[in-house]
Amino acid sequence: MSRERGVIIAGAAETSSVGKLPDYSTLQLHLEGAVNAVADAGLTMRDIDGIATVSAPGPMQVAHALGITPAWMDGTAVGGTSFLLHVRHAAAAIRAGYASTILVTHGESGRSRVGAAPFPRGSSSMPGQFEAPYGTVGPTSAFTIPALRYMKEYGLTHEQLAYVAVAQRKWAARNPRAMFRDLITVDDVLSSRVVAWPFHLLECCLVTDGGGALVVTSADRAGDFPKPAVHVLGTGESMDAPMISQMADFTESKAFRLAGQAALAEAGITTADVDHLMIYDAFAHVPIYGLEALGFTAKGEAGAFIAAGNTEPGGRLPLNTNGGGLSYTHTGMYGMFAIQEGVRQVRGEAAAQVPDVDISVVVGNGGMFASSGVLVLGREPR
């Protein structure tokens, strides 16, 4: 992407704290993230002319609460990856001239559920008719269903699946903001209680409160902000199925693959160019699917790749370096936190900083393998 047509992330920040925040509503978390991100960019709310966030509380509520009258709004709500799509849509809007300085916000009282939207469970919806009658209880009992098929087809072992959590805890141990920081072993994971066999508690993400926001603008303004510009080099979005039972192939994520191909192609890079990687990890199998979908490993090899230490501190492909949804934080729609860590790594200001990150790739998941957005972030324009 040329500098003339390029787009940057000029401001990025999370809420001042994440974790258990019973004194914050969902809206408050949006607002604190927004205030922090706008300050990070050295701007004021008067400079913002576009807003994007998920449907609850929605772009109008967030903009109005901040005193912003946007010239462009996006309320795309396709699950936890939505914020990656917001960045993509913001890039298109900036190129089209619809807005110049766009705020993307996330806030979710996922744990304390203060001012949180109720979970949609209409019994006449398709999931309500064709999945809920079988006793699904949120993502733990449904997002996990494809894994056993994958294990049979590709020989992924229970120990390799458990090791995903072990590897990520090594990163979390270096992140003072992470909820869980004590190192764990495969035995610890396999002896934690069964939540939905073959998944144990430590193979499932946290449930926390928190938020964050981004300021997206045109690359011709790079250098005008207090922090180094993070260039949005490539973006992609796609989907698979809105119900886990209808996922096209239980052994691969079509959404990750198509969104990833689009993002890498736009950036003009291959997987060999990637210095740092974030893959949305609601459960331990999701990074395995992500590594394979984007071609970081051959199909069936990602579990062994992680178990061999390639993605942990000192490995050749640092993955989920904030500790991820498994150990850092997971509000329910985790995508914003994956972007934030990608930005920090490119800027060189992460808690567990990887040396010389020129390119970070962020892979988002929405719903349960239902949708995906992928971002390629870079220190330099291409």
Partner 1 sequence: MSTPASQAPPSSPAKPPSKPPSKPLPEPTPETQPFWDGCGRGELVIQRCLDCGKPYFYPRPVCPECGSVNVEWFTATGRATLYSYVINHRPARGFENDGPYAIAVVQLAEGPRMMTNIIGIPNTPEELVLDMELQVAFEKRGEMSIPVFGPAAGEKSL
Q: Which residues bind partner 1 (CB under 8 A)?
A: 122-124, 126, 128-137, 140-142, 144-149, 151-152, 157-159, 190-191, 193-200, 243-246, 250
Let me know: does 16 contact 213? Beta carbons within 8 Å: no
Nearer residue to partner 1 within complex by CB, 68 or 186: 186
**Cβ at position 307, least distance to partner 1 in Å:** 14
CB-wise, 170 or 200, nearer to partner 1? 200
CB of 371 to partner 1, least distance (A): 17
Q: Which helix (H) or strand (E) holds 371?
A: strand 371-378
DSSP state of 365: -
For partner 1, give the closer residue by CB, 97 or 122: 122
Least gap, CB of 256 to partner 1 (angstroms): 18
Rounded Cα–Cα distance for residues 77 and 248 (Å): 22
DSSP of 320-347, one letter per residue? -TT-HHHHT---S-THHHHHHHHHHHHH
Q: What is the β-pairing status of strands 50-52 and 101-109? A: parallel
CB-wise, 40 or 131, nearer to partner 1?
Answer: 131
Of the two residues 140 and 261, which places its CB atom closer to partner 1 in the complex?
140
φ and ψ at residue 362, rounded to 5 degrees: -120, 120
Nearest approach, Cβ of residue 47 and partner 1 (Å) = 45
- What 3-state class would DSSP assign to 315? coil
Q: At residue 371, what are phi and psi to the nearest 5 degrees? A: -140, 165
| Closest to partner 1 by CB, 45 or 137 | 137
Q: How far is the CB of 82 from partner 1 (least distance, A)?
A: 24
d(CA 353, CA 356): 9
- Find the shortest distance in angstroms from Cβ 49 to partner 1: 39
What element of type H or E holds 257? helix 254-267
